[in-house]
Amino acid sequence: MIYTVTLNPSIDFFIEVENLKINDLNRMKKEQKIPGGKGINVSRVLSHLGIPSTALGFVGGFTGEFIRNTLIKEGLQVDFVEVETDSRINIKLHSNLKDETEINGQGPIISPEKLAELCKKLKRIQPQEWVVLAGSIPASLPEHIYEDWTKDLSQRGIRLVVDVAGKSLLNVVKSRPFLIKPNHHELGELFHVHLNSVQEIIPYGCELVERGVKNVIVSMGGDGALLFTTEAIYWARTPTWKVVNSVGAGDSLVAGFIGTYTQTKDLLYSFRYGVAAGSATAFSQDLCTKDMIEQVLPQVRIQKI
Ligand SMILES: Nc1ncnc2c1ncn2[C@@H]1O[C@H](COP(=O)(O)OP(=O)(O)OP(=O)(O)O)[C@@H](O)[C@H]1O
Ligand SMILES: O=P(O)(O)OC[C@@]1(O)O[C@H](CO)[C@@H](O)[C@@H]1O
């Protein structure tokens, strides 16, 4: 079984405003509410691929109820801990501004008792099963929580996928996860540098593999992604179709990669499928479907560097 953990799930509130005017009344042209949070996105894409997973994390209030009910209606398996206050609403704004603008909420306060409930669920996971830890850590939880969990989970023979930004990422590297997936900005922040080209990214991807991570995927938006393994480095390039909404593209890459790897054990094909899934999401309104991934897949070209 693949378990995804989202500590701070959200309702992603997608809004489109034709001509955004600051300090004035704007009216929405389009609006849509979708359950979000990185681990939840991974579970949703896995479900689109027909691969079962269990979504873990904290949900609360009327927003939490929406998240839980929508996922159950979509056929996902969920095992959330219920907290007292509302799950957050994250605003994803499309407007005349060129890029997407995101405003993410803080999320509910998680008490030590609720945290203990989630830890208990993690304790039941068996060796050889998969855990995907993805997304930010709410302010009320210890900063080192991912570090503690990855240490314990890896000692128990559980396979780890981690998609987090900042110091938390460097700390989990010690547990030698199966996969980490920073984007190139996050990788740069980790080492306090700006990374603007594949050549600049390479030494830092290699450094993470040297520190023990089995596979590092550095995603680069429309420029595709790089895969670093102990043996080689690969670059997957994607087609440049019209981008509709790239929120969750990185999570789709992770889901496509892990979902395919658990079924085929073919690392390169899984990488190619993951990159196709990321792009298929960028080319869609909601997260990618299997059909959309398979339209993109033949256009993804892999090159060994
Ligand atoms: N503009 C785009 N055109 C084509 N493919 C894209 C585009 N943006 C993203 N992708 C695909 O999605 C993958 C992940 O994208 P990106 O690097 O933006 O991840 P991310 O920053 O983690 O995204 P997010 O946090 O929104 O989930 C890329 O490797 C690529 O395959
Ligand atoms: O605030 P975090 O946890 O860093 O990111 C949360 C989030 O922006 O990431 C997902 C896309 O990757 C969205 O569904 C969600 O709103």
Q: Which amino acid is at 209?
A: V
**Is the reported ipTM for this assembly greater than 0.85?**
yes
**Cβ–Cβ < 8 Å for 244, 151:** no
pLDDT digits (tens, 9 = 90+) for 72-118: 999 999 999 999 999 999 999 998 766 789 999 999 999 999 999 99
Nearest Cα to Cα of residue 288 among 96, 296, 83, 186? 296
pLDDT digits (tens, 9 = 90+) for 222-254: 999 999 999 999 999 999 999 999 999 999 999
Q: Cα(192) to centroid of ligand 2, in Å?
A: 22
Domains contained in the chain, CATH given: 2-304 (3.40.1190.20)
Indicate if the alpha-carbon torsion angle 107, 108, 109, 115 is positive or negative: negative
> What tokens does 298 get?
């033949």
Backbone angles phi, psi at 192, to 5 degrees: 60, 45
Cβ of 63 less than 6 Å from ligand 2: no
Cβ of 133 less than 6 Å from ligand 2: no
Predicted pLDDT of residue 167: 80
**Cβ–Cβ < 8 Å for 24, 74:** no
Parallel/antiparallel/unpaired status of strands 81-83 and 130-134: unpaired
